[in-house]
Structure 1
């Protein structure tokens, strides 16, 4: 008897783990936790400018913004990070107006070196001020046209490795350089990511929870195909945006059986969205999972003052409460309300405090989770053919014009 088949059943945890370990040989983001960061720190020491302007889009900015947004109000930084991403002319002008162009360092980031949005914005910056080796650094692939331009003009360059995709690049030069320049501790960042890496690949702390969660997402993809991250801190707004790109662009794919796959990411902020999206979660269709992200210690002692408001005496119980206590109680009340329904899959991630280690650990865990879910779904997490088609159409339209 001869027998062939193309069945692709769900793989075991052991098979999946071996496949992920094998990926480390050709998917570069896994190994960024082992890199030497000295090149970024040494360059950062030479920067005198106060306004650090990142010109890029998508994977070139979202991860860096997520970390900077989370940390900037908890650190004493003498430099400010700006992000020029959108070609919306009104937004672009308002952001440029807030930059001291004569005291700015421009960090131009494009993996391909030909990103339309990035080059368009950089062209405009060049019309306002001369961009040269004194005020411009380029982060790109070594063989890109952008790198060739930078070399010709003796600009400092840093490499994005070819095996590191844009949305997985935050722990490469893409994120580490600008974050080091503004004064954040990139060694602690890498340490937070490395802790998750070691816990996963040694089959300890992060291994079980990542595999369990990934398997659930894959096996219940037809029932719960919307994954809500409910972050209880406005500082995590950037993380939410980064997660949406990572999840959507990595998992919206056609699998090896030519079946269209996809999990839809939603990022919301508590307590703000308790007054909007929570209603849909609680009484809407049961097609959503919820991950609540909390911060245990905000390291902030701001309190609700003992101020008497006539007619509102019934809310006197709020007086003298820490705002950090209030927001965590709001989070816990939401978690309890969801869990009591018993039909909404929900998990809770609690960050110990607002620092480099915790945000890096959270982001690296989500990178690993994305890779593992992709393996369960039998898809390639690292390409984006759906996006590339639109880029080609746009370039052809612009050339015709």
Structure 2
């Protein structure tokens, strides 16, 4: 993974402060240690599934599903996976019914994921599916120790796996939450972790990634009042769900009251996919209010070599320059052209991330990179990156309304 910045932070002091803070966090925040874990037990557990199981279904919401979905949808087009993976993450009745029509519940293993063990959305969906499939062996429950869900699972003699200590949901993709469903469908989770481990080593051992991340984080923090919208412009459809994962990670981590003031702060995340969003959101970036920074993500090798046929169309001869051009080259030319056009504006902060190919280690690198960036920016804008009181307030109100029923 290569990162090129078109701006500077001009603040070595702030970069050093951020780095020292993140070093200290490693002793209390659990996600930092996840790239170094031994996944033998996860792989062994995944291998206990019967060959009759053709589908894995995750019942979870937010951090319980978005990370695994991002990795799965990135790898699915280029890898021959031995099981399909579906995600129940909405109480929309149309969505639930539609998903259930796509597979046989009797050939499916369900992963019910809830850190608290009492997530309303998760258990409303679980109750419905349980009414269709009541065999406890068809379920694995992933939760915190001593949660209500653990007690329930033991009551029905179902399998229980645990989340590691001090790992919040949106930082949990490299824990049991993400690794178990991915391993069960055939994703190479060792390679996924190896990619994250490469970024971790590069950052904490003064490698190339450290300079990139610190410069970027300090720039975002120093300018967050002006450039308070952060856009990812990813030039591959395979990164669509990575963008959704990033939106949760960035929004839920950074939109807070500051710890030492009463100010509300945050950077609004926007996930875009090129080239289609060139025909919509790009206009706003190009000529709209100067309140947006943009990160372009490109892929060098798409593992697909299809080319535009050598065909001349009547009245469209001006498009013959497309003939024999690989689509992989065209999409990156489109990306480069937009970058060049925005650089000409002179006042839009840009950087580019280039992924060598569509592999587990590359998506692992990208996700851990963004987790580190989130932690750094959170420290620099003086927020608690790891809580979500705004989300909890809505949950409390919902539970009160349900009790009134």
TM-score band (shorter)?
Answer: over 0.9
User: What is aligned with 1:300?
Assistant: 304
> Hey, what does 1:266 align to over in structure 2?
270
Residue 15 of structure 1 deviates from its aligned partner by: 2.6
**Cα displacement (A) at 1:24:** 0.8
For 1:198, the equivalent position in structure 2 comes to 201
Q: CA deviation at 1:27?
A: 0.4
Q: Distance in 2 between matches of 1:357 and 1:10?
A: 31
User: Which residue of structure 2 lines up, in the alignment, with residue 70 of structure 1?
Assistant: 74
Deviation at 1:340, TM superposition (A): 1.4
Q: CA separation in 2, counterparts of 1:292 and 1:199?
A: 21
Query: Which residue of the partner structure matches residue 5 of structure 1?
Result: none
Q: Deviation at 1:75?
A: 0.3
Distance, in Å, in 2 between the alignment partners of 1:208 and 1:314 is 45
The more displaced of 266-275 and 140-149 is: 140-149
Q: Say if 2:161 is the partner of 1:158.
A: yes
Q: SS of the counterpart of 1:397? A: helix
TM-score normalised by the chain length of structure 2: 0.95
- Structure number with the bigger relative contact order (C-alpha 8 A, sep ≥ 6) is 2
Residue aligning to 1:286: 290
Shift of 1:11: 6.4
1:383 corresponding residue in structure 2: 387
* 1:31 alignment counterpart: 33
Q: Which residue of 1 aligns with 2:238?
A: 235
Question: Which deviates the most, 306-315 or 195-204?
Answer: 306-315
Partner residue of 1:17 out of 16, 19, 28: 19
**Structure 1 counterpart of 2:57:** 53
**Which residue of the partner structure matches residue 398 of structure 1?**
402
CA-based RMSD: 1.3
Q: How does 1:112-151 map to 2 (within 5 A)?
A: 112-133=116-137, 135-151=138-154
3-state DSSP class of the match of 1:46?
coil
Tell me, what secondary structure is at the counterpart of 2:335? helix
Counterpart check, 1:44 vs 2:46: yes
CA contact (8 A) 1:10 1:376 kept: no
* Residue equivalent to 1:220: 223
1:359: which partner in 2? 363
Q: Which runs of 5+ in 2 are unaligned?
A: 1-10
Equivalent position SS for 1:341: coil
Deviation track 1:75-117 (CA, whole Å, cap 9, x = no partner) reads 0112100001100001110011112111000011111110100
- In 1, the alpha carbon distance for the partners of 2:48 and 2:309 equals 45
Aligned-pair CA distance for 1:149: 1.1
Mapped to 2, the partners of 1:293 and 1:199 lie a distance apart of 20
Structure-2 separation of matches of 1:179 and 1:311: 49
1:277 pairs with 2:278: no
Does the 8 Å contact 1:11/1:376 carry over to 2?
no
Local SS of the residue matching 2:257? coil
Q: Contact 1:228–1:266 at 8 Å: present in 2 too?
A: yes
